[in-house]
Structure 1
Amino acid sequence: MGKDEDRFRKIYKQGKLTITEIWVDNVTGVNYLYHQDGYAGGLTPLLDREGKPIISSSSSY
């Protein structure tokens, strides 16, 4: 990964005032959910049914 490349890439966005986004870590492939409502926001890894992080295949990031 080059110096000018970003570590995270936004792959989904919904909303204007209340925002929900999905971000992918370009190094590990782990998917994260970001949610913002007003001045509050949070970031958490997306988990599958077994509680393991969802990881995108290297071909999709």
Structure 2
Amino acid sequence: MAKDQRFEKVYSQGTMTTTEIWVDKETGVNYVFHASGYAGGMTPLLDRDGKPVISPVINE
């Protein structure tokens, strides 16, 4: 694995069926990943107005 990974997992729930939230460390955009069995998908996390949720980006 690369030392500087672009995405960071900030939330995880479940074992067989999982729901995770990942943050892009370059843009701050939050993504929801959901997997069940052999299927899964990722999409941007949206607020109630339909805009992407963006976390503050911390430069290290």
* TM-score between the two structures when normalised by the length of structure 1: 0.87
* Distance in 2 of aligned mates of 1:4 and 1:38: 29
1:57, 1:30 → 2: CA distance? 9
Paired amino acid for 2:46: L
In structure 2, list runs of 5 or more residues that go unmatched. Answer: none
Matching of residue 30 in structure 1 with residue 41 in structure 2:
no
The separation in 2 between residues aligned to 1:8 and 1:40, in whole angstroms, is 20
- The aligned counterpart of 1:17 is 16
Equivalent in the alignment of 2:55: 56
The two structures have a TM-score, normalised by structure 2, of 0.89
Percent identity of equivalent pairs? 61
In the alignment of these two chains, the number of paired residues is 57
* Superposed structure 1 runs of 4+ greater than 3 Å apart: none
